Copies of this chain bind each other. A is one copy, B any other.
Amino acid sequence: MTAGTKLWGGRFATAPDSRMRVLNDSFPYDRRLAFVDVRGSIAYAGSLFDIGLLTSSEHAEIVAGLEKVAEEFASATFEPALEDEDIHTAVERRLTELIGAPAGKLHTGRSRNDQVATDLRLYVLEAIDALSDQLRGLQSAVVTKAEGHPNVVMPGYTHMQQAQPILFSHWLMSFFWKFERDHGRLQDARKRTAISPLGSGALSGTPFPIDREALAKALEFDDTSENSLDAVEDRDFVVEFLAAASLLQVHLSALAETLILWVSAAYSFVRLDEAHCTGSSLMPQKRNPDALELVRGKTGRVFGHLTGILTTLKGLPSGYNKDLQEDKEGLFDVVDTLSIELPIVADLVRKLKVNAANMAAARDSAMLATDLADYLVKKGIPFREAHRLVGSIIRAGETAGCPIDVLPIETYQRIHSAFDADVYSVFDSHQAVGRRATKGGTAPEAVDRQIRNAKSLLGSQASECCLQEDG
């Protein structure tokens, strides 16, 4: 008889078959919950002791035993038994081996239903905290890089077409704010994760006078759940984390796509450090931006795991259903994915070489067409009319086969008499950039303000990160 069946098998005549074990057993992946499971059990043992269900010495034995189990996991000396169907079974089996009878009291009033919900929340809380720190590191890299390249004018794009000149630092800071929203979403998800389900039993609550609030505090939860049935079946926090991760991944994919474009020969706006490239087994010249391509590609797995958990949850009736065991692998994979991506992307941003000369050379004077229309607006022409007139100038340039900033003044004046000789001053990209000085604009002073705001959000974190990682 296995440990699994030891736990639940009193009423069973036979053991599950081996294929069934492969389907059923979660230990191969939920062993990752070992430390939070032990933490939860130590806290729970404290509650049992408080209400007199454990003697002082039983309590001490259990705590010492659990600490020993955790050490075995930490030192990779834990030996799984064939019958460890999940991490809870494995820990209880090993505890029983270590301390004997008292281990059998630890499950009093507790079900694996509230136990696993507790473990998984503790895991997600740790993951959110670690990822939030890594995200702060990336934001810090963005700010530092932006600050280090204050006056580099480059083409701004819409529709992947040159649109208006902007500062490179403005472009880069656009990602700071995306990541700031991601940080906010992770923190909002954290609020709803930090609710302790422990003491909910299998579905209906515990008949023992457990102090759920004290238990929650011991485990650093913010609060306790309001309804035991909801507590054991709620996986909203997993979905919410994956949804926040999906948006973070959207932003990473946008950064990756843009940089993949810009490292290509056609742009050559930036150059990656070799550390973030790989070569080709066939083509000796290749220097591929693999890190960025993988970050872009991994968007698939993150969206996929979000779809996965939503699908699993769809249409489940009230009460814990075994389907919920499918809540873990996708979650773990997303945590691992972001944990490896975030520091690499931060490092990549830090080590990015910016080629200001190529950015300058790429600029087409037609990017100033809006400013040309604004020039007419200032002379009293309604914008819609000014827009139409500049359109004619663009066509004149195409017909003449030359950039619009070298069309003769006669061409301008033939299109509208409001054009004066001063029209050519419009084509100074730095001035055009400088004109966008309202909040959020691309003018140097407006970007400076962004950077100041960003640094104040990062607080002391930022400077530390920079000293440490960007030095």
Contact = CB atoms under 8 A, between A and B. Distances in A.
Nearest to A383: B108
Contact of A309 (B165, B290, B300): B300
Contacts of A278: 4, 8, 16, 24
A98 interface: no
A192 to B, nearest CB: 6
Contact of A266 (B267, B436, B441, B442): B267
Contacts of A239: 243, 246-247, 250
Contacts of A324: 297
Interface extent on A, as a size class? 35 or more
Interface stretch (A65-73, A75-83, A313-321): A313-321
Given A200-B440, A300-B311, A171 B318 contact: yes
B166 A370 contact: no
A321 B159 contact: yes
Interface in A342-373: 343-344, 347, 362, 364, 366-367, 369-373
Interface in A303-355: 303-326, 329-330, 340-341, 343-344, 347
B158 A202 contact: yes
A227 B440 contact: yes
Interface in A169-197: 170-171, 173-178, 181, 184-185, 188, 191-192
A197 to B, nearest CB: 8
A281 B391 contact: no
A201 interface: yes
B275 A14 contact: yes
A15 to B, nearest CB: 8
Interface string A274-303: 111111111111111111011111111101
Given A156-B204, A265-B161, A299 B282 contact: no
Interface stretch (A33-41, A120-128, A256-264, A459-467): A256-264
Contacts of A276: 16, 20
A305 B304 CA distance: 5
A322 B293 contact: yes
Contacts of A112: 280-282
Contact of A14 (B165, B181, B274): B274
A173 to B, nearest CB: 6
Contacts of A305: 304, 308
Given A170-B229, A297-B326, A312-B297, A284 B53 contact: no
B440 A181 contact: no
A140 B276 CA distance: 42
Interface string A235-249: 010011001001100
7 contacts: A13-B274, A104-B385, A161-B264, A164-B204, A170-B229, A202-B283, A301-B330
Closest 8 CB pairs of A and B: A10-B391, A205-B441, A304-B308, A297-B323, A8-B279, A300-B312, A104-B382, A205-B436
